[in-house]
Structure 1
Amino acid sequence: MSAPSSTKQSWAQGTAMGAAIIMVTVGIVQFLQGIAAVAEDEVFVVGIEYVYQFDLTTWGWIHIVIGVIVTAVGFVLITGAAWARMAAIVVAAISMIANFLWIPYYPWWSLLIIALDVVVIWAVSTWKPAAA
């Protein structure tokens, strides 16, 4: 009976380490995306009017801040500390919300990041380092 749990925890640990790498990568790309939005408003095409619309410079700064935080938490998540796992869940949830609101500007990227944030939350919430 402990073998399935051990296998499950090994899978969760591997996925959580992958989640840490995903967070670092996504954070860096979000940071760069934010810089692009701040520096050149012409990079992104805005279609229809959207309820949660900010100007691109504001969105750029939001993505810069979120990118830095996601990257930092991703690096710390590699340690497996309980507070880092909780921070990863909270930061991934915030990233999901920000990318949902960013959908009109960059829909495919936003949906990809939302999906990756779901993977991060699942991996981190099912991983129990003491049980591995």
Structure 2
Amino acid sequence: MTTPRMTLTSGWLTFAGILVIVTGFFNLIDGLVALLRADYYLVADRDLLILNFTTWGWIWLILGAIQIIVGAGILAGRMWARAAGVVLAVLAALGHLVFLRAFPVWSVLVIAFCVIVVYALTAPPRGSRAA
């Protein structure tokens, strides 16, 4: 007979999982807008640093889809998803820092979500003590 595997979760992990999924959807929207309607953004020159809006669109689409999968893994209590969630949140924050010139309010909002996700995924659950 097998014993069920217990995972240590907290409200922060649930919040982080939901927020990673929401951020993933935000990035999917960014990707679709960049691919389908690049004139929507505030910059006229269609290039951000070295990449054009089509390239950014694909980057945001792929990142957003992966974030949604990782968010589901976080909600399921998987440790790999927590580690991937931190890495993806940092990558998304850096990407939105570059994208800040094109869509400032949206990028600041997503960067704030990413910072909260990193905290929520790295904070120890309540009641646990460091050894």
Q: TM-score, normalised by structure 1?
A: 0.80
Q: 1:57 to 1:112 in 2, by over 3 A?
A: same
Q: How many Å separate the matches in 1 of 2:88 and 2:46?
A: 27
Letter in 2 for 1:33: D
- Give matches, 1:96-111, under 5 Å: 96-111=93-108
Q: How many Å separate the matches in 2 of 1:76 and 1:51?
A: 32
Letter in 1 for 2:93: M
Q: How many Å separate the matches in 2 of 1:24 and 1:89?
A: 13
Q: 1:47 to 1:39 in 2, by over 3 A?
A: closer
Higher mean displacement: 121-130 or 31-40: 121-130
Residues 4-26 of structure 1: per-residue CA shift (max 9 Å, x gap): xxxxxxxx821221111111111
From 90, 100, 103, the counterpart of 1:93 = 90
Match of 1:33 in 2: 30
- Give matches, 1:1-132, under 5 Å: 13-46=10-43, 52-128=49-125, 131=128
TM-superposed CA distance for 1:70, in Å, is: 1.0
Q: How many Å separate the matches in 2 of 1:108 and 1:98?
A: 14
Structure 2 spans left out of the alignment, 5+ residues: 1-8
Identity fraction in percent: 27
- The size of the alignment, in residue pairs, is 121
CA contact (8 A) 2:73 2:81 kept: yes
Q: TM-score, normalised by structure 2?
A: 0.81
Residues 41-84 of structure 1: per-residue CA shift (max 9 Å, x gap): 21112068987242111111111111111111111101222211
Q: What secondary structure, in the 3-state scheme, does the structure 2 residue paired with 1:46 have?
A: coil
CA RMSD in angstroms comes to: 2.5
Q: 1:51 to 1:43 in 2, by over 3 A?
A: closer
Larger % of helix: which? 1
Letter in 2 for 1:110: S
